[in-house]
Structure 1
Amino acid sequence: MAEILFPALFILLALGLPVAFAMSIAVFVALSFGSSYPNLVVVKEMFSGLDSFPLLAVPFFILAAEIMTGGAVTMALLRLAQSLVGHLKGGLGHANVVSSAMFAGISGSALADAAGPGSMMIRMMEKGGYDRSYAGALTIASSVVGPIIPPSITMIIYAMQDQEVSVGSLFMAGVLPGVLITLLVLVANGYVSHRRGYVSGAPMPGLAEIFRIFVYAIPALLLIVLIVGGIRFGIFTPTEASVIAVFYALVVGMFVYRSLRLRDLPQIVLRAALTATAVLLILGAARAFAWVLIIEGVPQFLAETIIAWDLSPIVFLLAVNLLLLIFGLFMDPLPGVMILVPILAPIALALGIDANHFAIIVIVNLTLGLTTPPVGSLIFVVSSTVKLKPSALIREMPPFFVALFGALMLITFVPILSTWLPGVSGF
């Protein structure tokens, strides 16, 4: 079946079908022409992939992010970011990056980062004299931290595929890599801003003004502390944390910022439902796709082959980086995690590679695929936002590719970035 499955998948992706439909149809084709299994197995496996209590956290975290965005949280974070770095050369670009890092602690999604604060910052940067295509490219790069800084939907899915890690340990493991990516994208923006003369016209605010803006943003920032702290100290599970995040977002939006009204909720719930449905369709299709690979013995064959090569851990990680970067060109992170982690994680464990370290390498690798053509979802989301062709955005990406891939190499070869916080946190 595998000899039919992969060609069918690539042909369907090349025709422009959404990933979920491409994988589902490819599995149907493989079963119809390469096996005696009934096609009903596909439906069964898709439902089995979604029949999971921890998976309930995904739609609730998506809903919490939508409520917080509707409750003026995005503007509070933008104002805080601008007060901290807006006066520097390339200040609006720096504010874009910092606000994305802050919003990542709420959304858990790169696409939500780009569509939320990213779209607002693009408009602000264009008014401030930045090229629209550059503002869009910077937003693509800054949104990468969405699935890295906790909470992260991708980490929840990863923990379901690898029993050696927990959602809590991955949340802690992602903090320093997320900060590293943010810092290197800031450096890239500073370099480009210096060369192009993107100066800030905003004066540096006084300490009193910064403190006032910070206090206003505290309710938004506390959501991150609530989620990570509650999971760390065993107060609630990640699934329970997602529900608590929804109620916290409602209270903050309606009674603290007072910008969320009851009549807004149906539209917010509808947007969250559509996003969650798209994510769950991908996960269900990926489960069916992975089932075919398991039936065919592909994971076992690859594992035995790689172990027989007797690779050192460093060479293995370099090979994994190359494989995942190529895989990310054609596949979104969530199906990538469901298909590849059951194959690669046991090999990494056998080679003595820390499970949290390897998980962050995989997640960062696959997330970078959102920034690369031909299937880079961030490119198309931002392209529709700025009304520019994807090619115009891609031409502005090289400085950010250098920053992002530099961060990936540091994360790969400096394990303490991913292992220190889980260790001191007791995971």
Structure 2
Amino acid sequence: MAKTLIILFFATLFLGVPVAFTMGIAGISAIFIDGSLNPLVATQRMFAGIDSFPLMAVPFFILASELMTACGLTNALLRFANALVGHVRGGLGHVNILVSMLFAGISGSALADAAGPSAIVMRMMREAGYEKNYAGALSAATATIGPIIPPSILAVIFAISTNGVTVAGLFLAGIVPGVLLGVSLAIANHVVSTKYGYRGREHRATMSELRSATLSAIPALIMPAIILGGILFGVFTPTEAGAVASAYALFLGFLLRAFTLRTLYAAFVRAAVVTSSVFLIVAMASIFAWLLTYLQIPQELAKVITQITDSRLGILFILAGFALICGFFIDTLPALIILTPILGPIAYSAGIDPLQFGMMLVLNLTIGMITPPVGPVLFVIATVGQLKIEQLSKAVLPLLLAELIVLLLVILVPGVSTFIPNSFGFAN
């Protein structure tokens, strides 16, 4: 069965079948061809994959993001970021980074960031004289901050795919790596801007402009505080935090009179479509991941790795390299669901903290969103900006290097991921 599963998976993937259906076709076909399992197990695993209370946080966070965007608060965040850092060298590039960090506290999605604020700032950068491929590359790279800074949809998926990790703990584990991503990209943007002469706005924002921009952005900035504060102080669970965030966004839209029936309907439809695609991937990947575990593939892989090295750090580097390669060819969400039950037991048996491993895996696969040949964020930016994917891929290389340095820090320094969660009592 193992050979049938693997061969069908890569064959359908090579033929260009969407990855959700690739996993479903490979898993269901392997069950039928082998004949040793009741075919009803496929249906059971699909349902079990999405029958999860923590997973309910995903549609709520997606809806909250859509409603906040419909409120027009993206422009408020842009104005706030421009007032803070727009005057420094490469100012619009720094605005791009800061807006993505702020928007990450609302959306939890790289694709939402890439199609929203990052795309807006990319157009602003091009109009200001930045080379179009660099503007696109920076917008793609900054979008990857979205799944790292809480709330993170990928953190929710990882937490329900493994034992010993809570959603809240992994949310906290993403704070320092998310900030480090922003800092590393800011340094890279400064170097590039110095080389090519990209300047910021002529004048620093006055106190009056900064005050006005801050006041307009406060409604959007409050949402991350509501989510994390409510979770940390035990007011609500991460799933309930998603519901509260959606209710807050809905209340805010009506308060600001930003909603019409048309915009409200469109926001709910977009949220439903994105949620449906996420749940379809989770359901199909659940069949595939369960079969991998049933066939004891993680145990076999563990034997191979331990023959190479028994060092904790060495094993973590091997797992990181394996995940990075998978991220080149498999989309982020299905790769996370497949790899977590395979690599997780290997990491835990080697004494690697689940929070460190989880953040390494999430960050690793998120970086894969800006690497060809899959690179979904690259394709979104290329489509929105009408750019050639080949040139965009070259322009993103120095920014990719900056993100890999952060990944290296997460691997070498466990405290980068574990310090904040441990401080709040989420030790594993």
Q: TM-score range by the shorter chain?
A: over 0.9
CA distance in 2, matches of 1:27, 1:215: 52
Tell me if structure 2 keeps the 8 A contact 1:97–1:142. Answer: yes
2:380 counterpart SS class:
helix
9-18 vs 118-127, which moves further: 9-18
Q: Which amino acid aligns with 2:311?
A: S
Within 5 A, what are the aligned runs for 1:204-283? 204-255=204-255, 257-283=256-282
The Cα offsets for residues 344-370 of structure 1, whole Å up to 9 and x where unpaired, read as 223322222222111111110111111
Tell me if structure 2 keeps the 8 A contact 1:23–1:286. Answer: yes
> Counterpart in 1 of 2:384?
385
Within 5 A, what are the aligned runs for 1:297-308? 297-307=296-306
> Counterpart in 2 of 1:197?
197
CA distance in 1, matches of 2:424, 2:36: 50
> Counterpart in 2 of 1:165?
165
Counterpart check, 1:375 vs 2:374: yes
Q: What displacement does 1:105 show?
A: 0.5
> Counterpart in 1 of 2:348?
349
> Counterpart in 2 of 1:88?
88
Q: Which amino acid aligns with 2:190?
A: G
1:188 counterpart SS class:
helix
CA distance in 2, matches of 1:43, 1:387: 41
The answer for unaligned runs of 5 or more in structure 2 is: none
> Counterpart in 1 of 2:67?
67
1:370 counterpart SS class:
helix
The Cα offsets for residues 33-75 of structure 1, whole Å up to 9 and x where unpaired, read as 3444354432332122111111111111100000001101111
Q: What displacement does 1:9 show?
A: 1.8
> Counterpart in 1 of 2:50?
50
327-336 vs 279-288, which moves further: 327-336
CA distance in 2, matches of 1:172, 1:32: 43
CA distance in 1, matches of 2:28, 2:163: 29
The Cα offsets for residues 71-104 of structure 1, whole Å up to 9 and x where unpaired, read as 0111111111111111111111111111011100
> Counterpart in 2 of 1:5?
5
Counterpart check, 1:418 vs 2:417: yes
CA distance in 1, matches of 2:35, 2:88: 62
297-306 vs 396-405, which moves further: 297-306
Q: What displacement does 1:310 show?
A: 5.2
CA distance in 1, matches of 2:317, 2:306: 15
1:346 counterpart SS class:
helix
Tell me if structure 1 keeps the 8 A contact 2:292–2:342. Answer: no
Q: What displacement does 1:309 show?
A: 5.0
> Counterpart in 1 of 2:121?
121
Tell me if structure 2 keeps the 8 A contact 1:254–1:261. Answer: no
218-227 vs 293-302, which moves further: 293-302
CA distance in 2, matches of 1:253, 1:133: 35
CA distance in 2, matches of 1:396, 1:309: 36
The Cα offsets for residues 215-257 of structure 1, whole Å up to 9 and x where unpaired, read as 21111111000001111111101111111110000111221x4
Q: What displacement does 1:307 show?
A: 4.3
Q: Specify whether residues 349 and 376 from structure 1 end up closer, same or farther in structure 2 by C-alpha distance, changes over 3 A only.
A: same
Tell me if structure 1 keeps the 8 A contact 2:88–2:201. Answer: no
CA distance in 1, matches of 2:251, 2:327: 38
CA distance in 2, matches of 1:367, 1:72: 27
187-196 vs 98-107, which moves further: 187-196
Tell me if structure 2 keeps the 8 A contact 1:162–1:341. Answer: yes
1:329 counterpart SS class:
helix
Tell me if structure 1 keeps the 8 A contact 2:289–2:341. Answer: no
Q: Number of residues paired by the alignment?
A: 426
2:329 counterpart SS class:
coil
Q: What displacement does 1:304 show?
A: 4.1
Within 5 A, what are the aligned runs for 1:125-140? 125-140=125-140
1:145 counterpart SS class:
coil
TM-score normalised to the size of structure 1?
Answer: 0.96
Q: Which amino acid aligns with 1:349?
A: Y
Identity among equivalent positions (%) equals 46
> Counterpart in 1 of 2:107?
107
Counterpart check, 1:405 vs 2:408: no
92-101 vs 202-211, which moves further: 202-211
The answer for unaligned runs of 5 or more in structure 1 is: none
CA distance in 2, matches of 1:259, 1:281: 32
Counterpart check, 1:98 vs 2:98: yes
151-160 vs 262-271, which moves further: 262-271
> Counterpart in 2 of 1:358?
357
238-247 vs 159-168, which moves further: 159-168
Tell me if structure 2 keeps the 8 A contact 1:307–1:347. Answer: no
Q: What displacement does 1:290 show?
A: 0.9
> Counterpart in 2 of 1:333?
332
Tell me if structure 1 keeps the 8 A contact 2:67–2:250. Answer: yes
TM-score normalised to the size of structure 2?
Answer: 0.96
CA distance in 1, matches of 2:266, 2:333: 26
> Counterpart in 2 of 1:149?
149
